[in-house]
Structure 1
Amino acid sequence: MEQEYLFILEALESLGEDEFKRFKFCLSIFGHEYYSHIPQDKIKGSDRISTVQLLREFSGREAMNVTIKILEQSNLRNTAFRLQQKIASEHNQIIIRKIRKDYRQKYMETMIEEYQVIEDKNSRLGESILLNKRYIPPIIIKKHRWQEDDLHQIVAGGNKDLDDLNQRENLECISIGIDKLFEPNEHGLLASTVVLQGPSGIGKTTTLRKIMLDWASGNIYEKFDYIFYLSCKEMKLIQADTSLAELLLSNCKDPKTPVSEILANPENLLFLIDGFDELRFSLDYLNSKLCSDPHEKASISCIFNGLLRRTVLDKSHLLITTWSMAAEKLKRYLVSPCSFEILGFSPKGQEVYFSNFFEDEQQAKQAYTFVQGNKMVYSMCFAPIVCWSVCTVFQQQFESGQSLDENLTTSTSLFVFFVTGMLNHCSCKQTAQKHLQSLSSLAEEGMRKHTIVFEEEQIKKHNLDAENILALFLNKNQCQEGTMSRSTFSFVHFTFQEFFAALFFVLEAKPQSNANLIKLLKDNQEKTDGFLTATVRFLFGLLNGDTVGFIQKNLACKVDFQIKEILMKWVMVSATKNPPLKEQKLLELLHYLFETQDVEFVKAAMERFTEISLSSLPLTVADCLALTFCINYSYKKHTLHLQDCQLGYQQLDVLMLGIANCLYLSLSDNKLEDSSVKLLCEGLKQPDCELQSLTLYKSPLTSDGIKKLMRLEKRIRQSGRRLIIIV
């Protein structure tokens, strides 16, 4: 209504003085005929603004009609016509805005319906898991520099930013909420492109789903009219040319979607691009054509290039998730991105996850207490995928009346328990064996060919025809191309593909499997992208006698023991490489040995190592557990270089368990404060400790801490044992 009075004022201001006098004269003479009862003496001395005020006061809702009629009576028909057009246009705009608002509300309701529930392969038939019940806010921190982190820290069992419990709690205090990712930076600048990176299984996709749900519920990002979720895994399956507008139309699931009107205001749009790393084998930076028109048909590569490089909808906002290993490649496509790292759960978040997972409060407490007592498993539980797998295994054991298994010490044992339980739950032993072999051969082919999406023909080729097994371990995606559609499949999580691929080589020997295994080991050592690291770690874990026995007993599978000889030979060759293995590859190898939990295997392997250098490599508690395990079971006494490894109290507490088997230990340039002195003194005083040299250059020790070490050094040397402590 207020807008109409402004339109009347604009019309009167467009009149000349004589025209305005004529308008007022006609208003005083004919106004009463049109329900306007303005006193003549008030009209006579009024200017344009006061005339509008009089019309508002005495004509109310009829003010517009009165004005138009009086303009016509005053022979000012052009002005009356223009005023009518303005009113009609405004009314149309109101209707359009209402339609847009109604459609936006409908879209948001559709998104709530789609994103409020998550799929849990372990849930009972017909049961749904609410995202808000299962979702735990992860730790998200600003990433101040682009860097490639270890892709598979999740399976290694640790994250340098989360390893120290105190640091994890501190990070929780500065963690950024999902509603703050597009806030102004320290310079007051708003980023239009945000990257959320992290290793596999850390919760990137779930975080995007939560953002979508919270926006649709009206809780966050009200500044965006629309948010669209684009899965790179699904997008790369589209082979025919399409347009961005058509992609969004299929995303909306409503053929009447006013896509053109939505795209007309790109500054109000946010695209959630999930899994850039899925495109790393198909997106060509140099040769791909750049899309510039959202309605133009083009290849998926061209469309994504256009979105990322801002040649299409350049004012829109992007939130992109990627594995850490693909971050460097992604950087080439983006202009001034703001980067964040998702680090998984805080200690409190882990506990809340267990509490939410189990309906029985006592079971939740028992499961979490068990995990806290297992350093290796606990160090892996910052990752949601591990938390879910651990809880699922425990749930199976609770339901069957079993006690929690003490052998659950490595990522491999965790997945063996999980997969075995799920297979036996759905089929008999003989059928389970067949399904296990089929899943393993499919996974191995995928790892060998760098493929994570499988066509229906491949599923049939590997004899995966049981619907319940497909539903348990594989996601089925329907890919629409024009009037045709086709089904594609992917493992429920990449970690399962890695596990099953490793299992392929352990099950009874197959033609060419040994040759493929040797090539896999060679490729893993030569490449730095981490794509095969977890598969190799699972391979070593499957050498464990208890694990093999468990598979044979519960799934009636035959196992190929020749693999152990191949892996031992590979370790021996790796240990004697010249030049020696780089720090990261050496650490990976130590994790492989730890994963076996096979003392004799580790003893034989460690024979080839005398000097171990991991300097300048941030070490987690899990890393230190693996290192200590290998040193403890070595026949040799080792020289250990751990300078600048970001070691703190927690890591040192673990390392002291292996100090007896070291002759020389360098801990220079670490975060070892006086609280660590007590640990060092206790380790050095062990009767079987033969350490001869301890270096602590550039450690933030106080003079009191240094004095304690010097006094201990003196007492040990007086006892006849050689020891030099350099501070």
Structure 2
Amino acid sequence: SKRIILVGKAGMGKTYFSEEFLRNWVEGRTHRYKCIIYLTFRELNSIEYEISIKELLEAKCESLSSVLTLKNPDDLLIILDGLDEFKYNLNCDLQSSRSDVDSSFPVHDLVSKLITKNLLPNVDVMVTAPWTFLNKLDQYFTCMVVIQGFDDQQMKQYFDYLCKHKLQSESICGSIKKNNISHLASVPLYSFMLHQIMKNGSTLSQSSVKNINTCSRLLIQFLKSCLGYSLKEGKSIFEKLTTVMMAKPAIKQNPEDFIRRLGKLSYNSLLSGQLTVNAEALKKYGLSEKILNKYFSSFFYKKHSNGSSFEYCHATIKEMFAAFYCARVVRDDELKECLDAWVRGIIPPSIKSNLLFHVTTHHRFQLKHFTRLFMGFLSAADSSRLFSDAGRSSSLQSDTATLKDTTRDVLVRWFQRWLQNDLRAEDCLNLLHYIFELQDPDLTKRVSKYIKWINMCTKPLSAIDVQALRFSLKESKLEELDLRFCELGDKGVEQLRDILVNCKIVQLWSNKLSEKSGEILSEILQTPECAIEVLSIGNNNLGPVGVQYLWKALESNQTLRTLCVCGNDIQSKGTETLVQSLEENSTLEEI
């Protein structure tokens, strides 16, 4: 039996993959399993009593528990989708004996036992989760499946599928390429949003695209586009909302009031682990089912067609509204406290901010994407302008940094303190994403002097991750940049060339690099300002031609002391010009 973990970043399609796998089984297109059971952690969040696996399956379907008596247990697959949405802590480290199908446990213990094989050890179990959970759980899984983003060809195929007309697909792909936002479009969810922006009548003009280079800015453009779509004859959506909601039309409403209310609801739902919103909850926050149906249908769908229960279309939508709300209400004197709690799990004994009343140490594992969006919304243009004239195609954000000086100072001090710790790869990546989402040149420059070591070893980097590194480290002079086993490829090396040139130690082992990277690295080494002293690029595929580019660079480079190129299929042809190049070099000590 296997314990499989399916990992991918937010919006990569983990749920879609799981549901499609289930659909193929239902339609008889896969014969590996006689039965596949699909459970979401959102469903499990609603269980607040002890339950057995038998009772859990019977609750899903009355006759489903009979599969537990299959003659061959490995004919059964249980899919647990969305671990990042689970509101309970797992107890996988607890030592316990095997349990039977009739034994009842708290739901978090039941899930823990399934993962560790203390329950149903002979049944296959697949869990979907973001990368952040891998370090804590990898020892319990025998197989890992990674969902990568779209490459350029897959992106084109996806837009061909979404668009009714080929010309529309070509227009979107052309705008993406022209404006260098393929890193965003590589994420299926964001590609869908770009399509919706076009579908709703907005144009990806030069001015608007300039402001959607980060996740938060794309989401704001998507939010604006969906809301603006309901505008007719230039009438503000918030005038319409006020007409629907207010018993006394004379009472003036802040244009952002309804978004704030939905944001507050979303933030509390995020902390509680719920994706579902009912009519009672809407009323509590001054909203209504009618408002959601009429103006926010792009962000919710009804869980039951005859009911009044709504579900966010995607967890990212909930995070978007929650982050927008928090960015609008947080004060400078609360900012450090909130970031410490959300990012590092440090809860102060005496809490100042109302935002932290229900935050626990465990929430830091669930709020990674939320905090990135929060940073982006924190640096958005003045809130009074965000939704003014929502029907126009202009961007929601200004082209320049809009952080208040006091807010910027708080953030710089917070980054400085965090960087004094020995950061894990996941923490390093999050830190760089925060700087990237903020898009504040002054903050980037001030924080850069505190960044000396970046360790991303064994952390596969997506196209968006590479862009985050490229922006956030452009002012840094690094002692060491460790990018071993990061799936960079030649494209990643090309995009990071301005970062690599300023590093003393560069580790690029096992990154699927070809002779093209050899040429790029050669150009970097020949740059007069090159600071590289140690370059390690073993276990790639530079080949004879790729290493000859490096030998050529040795003739003029005056900084490199150590060069490691083992495991690159150099062959005898690759060493033909090595001696000649070494004779021209006076600094290399080891090769």
Q: Which residue of 1 aligns with 2:349?
A: none
- CA separation of 1:331 and 1:478: change in aligned 2, threshold 3 A: farther
Give the Å deviation of 1:417: 0.6
- 1:425 matched to 2:233? The reply is no
CA contact (8 A) 1:228 1:271 kept: yes
SS in 2 for 1:415: helix
- 1:443 matched to 2:269? The reply is no
Give the Å deviation of 1:570: 2.4
* Equivalent of residue 273 in structure 1, options 54, 72, 80: 80
- CA separation of 1:382 and 1:245: change in aligned 2, threshold 3 A: same
- 1:218 matched to 2:28? The reply is yes
Q: Which residue of 2 aligns with 1:237?
A: 46
- Counterpart AA for 2:175: F
**Pairing 1:77-92 to 2, within 5 Å after superposition:** none
Take 2:223 and 2:284, find their aligned partners in 1: how far apart are those partners? Answer: 22
Give the Å deviation of 1:554: 3.7
Q: Which residue of 1 aligns with 2:569?
A: none
Q: Which residue of 1 aligns with 2:132?
A: 325
Render the CA deviation track for 1:252-311: whole Å, top value 9, x for unaligned.
Answer: 5xxxx65576554363544333234444516556599987345x8876557656655667
Q: Which residue of 1 aligns with 2:338?
A: 520
* Equivalent of residue 285 in structure 2, options 462, 465, 469: 462
CA contact (8 A) 2:526 2:553 kept: no
SS in 2 for 1:497: helix
Give the Å deviation of 1:364: 0.9
- CA separation of 1:696 and 1:440: change in aligned 2, threshold 3 A: same
Q: Please tell me whether Structure 1 or Structure 2 has the larger radius of gyration of its CA atoms.
A: 1
* Equivalent of residue 472 in structure 1, options 298, 309, 327: 298
Give the Å deviation of 1:239: 4.0
- CA separation of 1:505 and 1:454: change in aligned 2, threshold 3 A: same
Give the Å deviation of 1:362: 1.0
Identical-residue share of aligned pairs (%) = 20
Q: Which residue of 1 aligns with 2:163?
A: 358
Render the CA deviation track for 1:89-127: whole Å, top value 9, x for unaligned.
Answer: xxxxxxxxxxxxxxxxxxxxxxxxxxxxxxxxxxxxxxx
Cα RMSD of the aligned pairs, angstroms, is: 4.5
Q: Which residue of 2 aligns with 1:203?
A: 13
Take 2:321 and 2:60, find their aligned partners in 1: how far apart are those partners? Answer: 32
**Pairing 1:466-545 to 2, within 5 Å after superposition:** 466-468=291-293, 469=295, 471-477=297-303, 490-507=311-328, 510=329, 514=332, 517-527=335-345, 530-544=365-379
Take 2:84 and 2:202, find their aligned partners in 1: how far apart are those partners? Answer: 40
Q: Which residue of 2 aligns with 1:566?
A: 407
Take 2:128 and 2:525, find their aligned partners in 1: how far apart are those partners? Answer: 47
* Equivalent of residue 209 in structure 2, options 397, 402, 406: 406
* Equivalent of residue 638 in structure 1, options 477, 501, 504: 477
Render the CA deviation track for 1:617-645: whole Å, top value 9, x for unaligned.
Answer: 6555544433443454x4xx724522454
- 1:675 matched to 2:500? The reply is no
Take 1:454 and 1:290, find their aligned partners in 2: how far apart are those partners? Answer: 37
Take 1:659 and 1:194, find their aligned partners in 2: how far apart are those partners? Answer: 36
Take 2:64 and 2:437, find their aligned partners in 1: how far apart are those partners? Answer: 53
- CA separation of 1:433 and 1:713: change in aligned 2, threshold 3 A: same
- CA separation of 1:352 and 1:631: change in aligned 2, threshold 3 A: same
- 1:292 matched to 2:100? The reply is yes
CA contact (8 A) 2:525 2:532 kept: no
Render the CA deviation track for 1:67-90: whole Å, top value 9, x for unaligned.
Answer: xxxxxxxxxxxxxxxxxxxxxxxx
Q: Which residue of 1 aligns with 2:193?
A: 389
Render the CA deviation track for 1:330-386: whole Å, top value 9, x for unaligned.
Answer: 568x6x7444333344543322211111111111122123223444x3224343222
CA contact (8 A) 2:133 2:365 kept: no
Take 2:265 and 2:331, find their aligned partners in 1: how far apart are those partners? Answer: 13
- Counterpart AA for 1:467: L
**Pairing 1:294-309 to 2, within 5 Å after superposition:** 300=107, 304=111
Q: Which residue of 1 aligns with 2:551?
A: 707
CA contact (8 A) 2:45 2:87 kept: no
Take 1:227 and 1:326, find their aligned partners in 2: how far apart are those partners? Answer: 24
CA contact (8 A) 1:590 1:627 kept: yes
- Counterpart AA for 2:160: S
- Counterpart AA for 2:194: V
Give the Å deviation of 1:522: 0.9
CA contact (8 A) 1:193 1:319 kept: yes
Take 1:406 and 1:258, find their aligned partners in 2: how far apart are those partners? Answer: 53
CA contact (8 A) 2:412 2:443 kept: no
Give the Å deviation of 1:219: 1.1
Give the Å deviation of 1:440: 1.6
Render the CA deviation track for 1:136-157: whole Å, top value 9, x for unaligned.
Answer: xxxxxxxxxxxxxxxxxxxxxx
Take 1:362 and 1:230, find their aligned partners in 2: how far apart are those partners? Answer: 40
- CA separation of 1:288 and 1:450: change in aligned 2, threshold 3 A: farther
CA contact (8 A) 1:696 1:725 kept: no
- CA separation of 1:287 and 1:496: change in aligned 2, threshold 3 A: farther
Which deviates more from structure 2 when the two are superposed, residues 580-589 or residues 430-439?
580-589
Give the Å deviation of 1:515: 5.6
Take 1:692 and 1:217, find their aligned partners in 2: how far apart are those partners? Answer: 59
- Counterpart AA for 1:351: K
Q: Which residue of 1 aligns with 2:490?
A: 649
Size of the alignment, in residue pairs? 505
CA contact (8 A) 1:389 1:418 kept: yes
Structure 2: which 5+ runs fail to align?
232-236, 242-254, 346-361, 560-584
CA contact (8 A) 1:289 1:305 kept: no
Give the Å deviation of 1:237: 1.0
Render the CA deviation track for 1:138-196: whole Å, top value 9, x for unaligned.
Answer: xxxxxxxxxxxxxxxxxxxxxxxxxxxxxxxxxxxxxxxxxxxxxxxxxxxxx354433
- CA separation of 1:652 and 1:622: change in aligned 2, threshold 3 A: same
**Pairing 1:21-36 to 2, within 5 Å after superposition:** none
- Counterpart AA for 1:441: K
**Pairing 1:155-234 to 2, within 5 Å after superposition:** 191=1, 193-221=3-31, 223-224=33-34, 226-234=35-43
Structure 1: which 5+ runs fail to align?
1-190, 480-484, 716-721
SS in 2 for 1:708: helix
- Counterpart AA for 1:378: S
- Counterpart AA for 1:292: D
CA contact (8 A) 2:524 2:530 kept: no
Q: TM-score, normalised by structure 1?
A: 0.58
Q: Which residue of 2 aligns with 1:595?
A: 437
Render the CA deviation track for 1:402-434: whole Å, top value 9, x for unaligned.
Answer: 647322211111101101111223461343733
Q: Which residue of 2 aligns with 1:86?
A: none
- Counterpart AA for 1:520: C
Take 2:137 and 2:386, find their aligned partners in 1: how far apart are those partners? Answer: 41
Render the CA deviation track for 1:666-700: whole Å, top value 9, x for unaligned.
Answer: 324545665334434545666xx533554325557
SS in 2 for 1:220: coil
CA contact (8 A) 1:502 1:536 kept: yes
CA contact (8 A) 2:373 2:437 kept: yes
CA contact (8 A) 1:193 1:317 kept: yes
Take 1:642 and 1:530, find their aligned partners in 2: how far apart are those partners? Answer: 25
- Counterpart AA for 2:386: I
Take 1:496 and 1:723, find their aligned partners in 2: how far apart are those partners? Answer: 57
Give the Å deviation of 1:611: 3.4
SS in 1 for 2:256: helix
CA contact (8 A) 1:643 1:669 kept: yes
Take 1:656 and 1:222, find their aligned partners in 2: how far apart are those partners? Answer: 46
**Pairing 1:6-25 to 2, within 5 Å after superposition:** none
